[in-house]
Amino acid sequence: MQGMAAGKFWIVLNPAAGKGRAERRRAEIERFMRDFANGRGFADVRGFEMVLTKGPGDALEIARNLPVAEGDAVVAAGGDGTCNEVANGLLSRGAPPPPLGVLPVGRGNDFSSAVGIPQDLGEALRILVGGSPRASDVGFVRGGLFPAGRHFLNVVGIGFDTKVVFEAQKMRIRNDLSYALGALLTVARYEPSPVLRIRFDGSEMTLPVAIVSVANGRRMGVRFRMAPDALLDDGLLDICVVPHQPSRLRILRIVRLYTKGTQAGFPGVRTGRASRFRLEAIEGGMAAHCDGETLCRDGASLEISCVPGALRIIGPPVPLA
């Protein structure tokens, strides 16, 4: 597998990612990339350019409109939300999109973990300049705030885990602690579960659900393994359906199992793998997120599909897992 061509790295940095953590790492990124561009121990390149976002949606528009040349790569420097926006911008450019690099300077950084990029910024930078682009699936969801559709890299969550994301986003603290506290708050409230009709791979189920995850990647919120066996390059998405639980204690037990990735063994939990899914709210509405971004708070239906090999992700020279 060949490494990156001698092109330019366009770094889309979200300075607000990780509650401002990304802005504080900006100088380190620029220093490393200047050394790289000057050829200090590396192959010659045309250089790099950093573009800063100013608000939500900015990374998508920047990635869509960058003057990318052949051999260039676009880099998402931020968290999962930044990666999601940059990926959507690249996929709106037409095929084939330029390779996507990731610098994990956000809060959750779940997608970068799925690709095999370490959380240490220095190591992530070395992988960026020395790694190999590999084909990766992406998901596509239509419904809620995105009737025309939205791509996702990691996971669409419905129900309990979405409410956890909403709670975590309100907090000033960073990293997985905000998700853990968000989970406790959501357990304490434990609102009624909607009744959903879920169709995939020729099967259908209708039941009240506490949690539904449709995943391309493996984890959410650092410590929650929503789909521990998911692969980024199999042309399929993994689903895990947790039915409504009669008590806070039982839902708390399931949440603890998610931290180990063993929730599939809990009574009543259903799992599967397919390329297309349709979810309809029969009673109540769906609260749903897409890579941590709000899809809907009281949605009626979602259509979710896998787009095989849609992006080339720069990662370490090992198979995606």
Task: Clarify whether residues 247 and 278 are in a common domain.
Answer: yes
Q: What is the pLDDT of residues 203-216, one digit of tens each?
A: 999 999 999 999 99
pLDDT above 90 covers a percentage of the chain that reads 66
- Kindly report which listed range (56-65, 234-243, 267-276, 290-299) carries the lowest average pLDDT score: 290-299
Q: Under a CB-based contact definition with an 8 Å cutoff, are residues 252 and 194 in contact?
A: no
Confidence check: pLDDT of 31 > 50: yes
Mean residue pLDDT across the chain: 88
Q: How far is CA 294 from the centre of its chain?
A: 13
CA distance 310 to 126: 24
Task: Clarify whether residues 116 and 27 are in a common domain.
Answer: yes
pLDDT above 70 covers a percentage of the chain that reads 86
In this prediction, residue 302 carries a pLDDT of: 98
In this prediction, residue 189 carries a pLDDT of: 66
Confidence check: pLDDT of 176 > 90: no
Contacts 24+ apart (CB under 8 A), 30-38: 32/122, 32/125, 33/9, 33/125, 36/129
Residue 190 lies in a domain: yes
Task: Clarify whether residues 80 and 209 are in a common domain.
Answer: no
- Over range 241-248, report the average pLDDT: 89
Task: Clarify whether residues 164 and 298 are in a common domain.
Answer: yes
- Over range 8-37, report the average pLDDT: 91
Task: Clarify whether residues 113 and 250 are in a common domain.
Answer: no
**Final residue belonging to a domain, choices 130, 161, 190:** 130
In this prediction, residue 15 carries a pLDDT of: 95
Residue range of the domain that includes 94: 8-130
109 confidence band (pLDDT: 50, 70, 90): confident
